[in-house]
A = this chain, B = another copy of it.
Amino acid sequence: VTDDGGGVSWLTSEEHHAWAGLMQMQGQLLGRLGRELAARSGLSLADYGVLVTLTEADGGRMRANELGRQLGWEKSRLSHHVARMVARVLVVRERCPSDARGLLVAATEEGRRSLGEAAPGHVDAVRRWFVDRLTTAQLATLADIADAVRAGLAEGECGE
């Protein structure tokens, strides 16, 4: 609990260093990766995430609900984004046979092609700017950190 002279700062300097560093890193990293991806493939990071998730799913299609959950998106965001991707013929909406309330989202041929073109370069960029800068131990710790924080957030959703 320090306040280093006039400013507002009630984290210790170590805590602040970690927190502020994380925020800055994330912003710059996403900016860089997003621009590289868009320049080379015309896909945004969001598009990429949707296509990867769909492609990894069984049959290349997925309940919209589940897609949103895996991406960590709100339903409204997903709906708007899918609409834009449908307009660009990257995905299609399909009726869900088992539950008429539901929706299936499927990658089109065009979507698979775009992803296939974009993926090698993007993975390379993730390596270049992120993975290769870190040690195995650092990556392991980071994974633990992410798990711990997400577990806390997940608890908070309910019990709060």
**Which of A's residues lie within 8 Å of B, judged by CB?**
6-11, 14-15, 17-19, 21-22, 24-29, 31-32, 52, 55-56, 72, 115-116, 119-120, 123, 126-127, 129-131, 133-134, 136-153, 156
List 12 A-B residue pairs with CB atoms under 8 Å apart, sorted by A's residue number.
Answer: A10-B123, A15-B131, A18-B134, A21-B143, A26-B26, A28-B153, A29-B149, A32-B156, A133-B151, A134-B145, A138-B144, A141-B142
CB-CB under 8 A from A139, the residues of chain B are 14-15, 18
CB-CB under 8 A from A150, the residues of chain B are 21, 24-25, 28
Q: Is the CB of A22 within 8 A of B142?
A: yes
Please give the distance in Å from A20's CB to the nearest CB on chain B. Answer: 8
How many angstroms from the CA of A24 to the CA of B72 in the assembled complex?
Answer: 7
CB-CB under 8 A from A153, the residues of chain B are 28-29, 32, 129
CB-CB under 8 A from A31, the residues of chain B are 72
Q: Is the CB of B17 within 8 A of A143?
A: yes
How many angstroms from the CA of A150 to the CA of B14 in the assembled complex?
Answer: 17
CB-CB under 8 A from A144, the residues of chain B are 138
How many angstroms from the CA of A120 to the CA of B26 in the assembled complex?
Answer: 24
